[in-house]
Amino acid sequence: MHALRIFGWSLAITVIGVAAAGVIGGPRNAALVAILAVLEISLSFDNAVINATILGRMSQFWQRIFLTLGILIAVFGMRLIFPIAIVALTAHLGPLEVFDLALNDGARYAEKLGDAHPAIAAFGGIFLFMLFLDFLFDPEREIQWIKKLEEPLRRAGQLDVVPIVLGLIALLVVGQAFAGDHQQQVLLSGVAGLATYLGVRGLGEFFEARGVGAEDDDDDSVAESAGLAPVRSNGTGGPPKLVLATGKAAAFLFLYLEVIDASFSFDGVVGAFAISQNIFVIAAGLGIGAMYIRSLTVYLVRRGTLGEYIYLEHGAHYAIGALAIILAISIETEVPEIVTGLIGVAFIGLSLLSSIRHRSAERGLAGAGSVPGEDEGGPGQPREAVGAPM
């Protein structure tokens, strides 16, 4: 029943969306909506894992906001309004003119959307690449998947500016090697993406560190009054109540999640035009997929899955690093969506297998009378890299 509650709205919207597409446009449109939904889910599973790591730091009240207001932003904002706004900005057209173009001339709208791809790829690519670098160079990250690679980078991360310097170097390399005739556009968009990442993440961490949320409003009290229990540690990696962000801190984390979603979503929107040129079919299919990703995010948090399968977060970040590289390459060279999807699935699959191996080894040690993690800083702390690939 717990899973049904979390995925209930996604299932209901799937039935309504596919049925409505069938009634309005016939069986073909219904099938296209279903195909696009599956495409979005397959391309964005790593997005769900990343979202879960951030959502786990937020109160249950804000988790509910993510699943309600957040899905409206994801479906109507990122999958419908955002592409129209980008085309209007890059093609120097009015929003109403672009919307009319999307309704009546899907091929030309898709062409204009493709023309905007270099700027979006640079913005989203550098944003995701910074997310990847900050993970690799996090000096406080104790769990390591590929220790020989990650341990030296973790130590280097004690110098805070390393990820930023590497991000800027990567942007210059992309501008020189992959931008072609779009160099100025790519560099400007890349700088904007870097500034957005640093600004949104920095503000969220600032308010979280100062505990502003707890002073401004007690979201957990609001959640309890609505019949929602505050999130507490469940012994499998769920965050303790003291670290949950509320108020302004949670609001900036929520904004951070939405920008991450935007970075993931645009590539799917562009690719969707290979399947259909009807913007409503695309918005419906990708929107249904986005709902499942959000439900899956909340499910991972509530079940403490990232604490149980400890390398999933690593696999998701490596997949994000690969996606950032693919976005850079795609500025001038088309990369099939299936390649992007398979790379993401491969990293997630390998990290899942390593996590299962680690868990089995821990249980074997516990069965032999050893308490897992006792010599690593106390009960409940996982051993450093049992079962991880070297």
**DSSP letter (8 states) at residue 230:** P
Most trustworthy range by pLDDT among 100-109, 271-280, 375-384: 100-109
Q: Where are the domains of the chain?
A: 2-376
Contact 80, 262 (CB under 8 A): no
Does the pLDDT at position 242 exceed 50? no
CB distance 287 to 5 below 8 Å:
no
Residue 195 CA to residue 215 CA, distance in Å, equals 28
C-alpha distances (whole Å) from 296 to each of 195, 223, 281, 282 are 29, 20, 23, 21
As a whole number of angstroms, the distance between CA 152 and CA 137 comes to: 9
Q: What is the pLDDT of residues 260-311, one digit of tens each?
A: 777 777 767 766 776 777 878 888 888 888 888 888 888 888 787 878 888 9
Question: In this predicted structure, what is the pLDDT of residue 309?
Answer: 86
Q: Mutual orientation of helices 82-91 and 106-115 as an angle, nearest 10°?
A: 70
Per-residue buried b or exposed e for 196-225, using 16+ beta carbons within 10 Å of the residue's own CB: bbbebbebbeebbeeebbbeeebbbebbee
Q: Considering the chain, what percentage of its residues have pLDDT values greater than 90?
A: 8
Distance between CA 286 and CA 299 in Å, rounded? 20
- The alpha carbon torsion through 365, 368, 371, 373 (nearest 10 deg) reads -20
Structure confidence at residue 209 (pLDDT): 67
Three-class DSSP category at 245: strand
| 291: helix, strand or coil | helix
Q: What is the pLDDT of residue 388?
A: 46
Of 180 and 292, more confident: 292
pLDDT for residue 369: 59
Chain position carrying tokens 């195909």: 35
Q: Which of 285, 342, 343, 293 is nearest to 319 (CA)?
A: 343
The identity of residue 344, as a single letter, is G
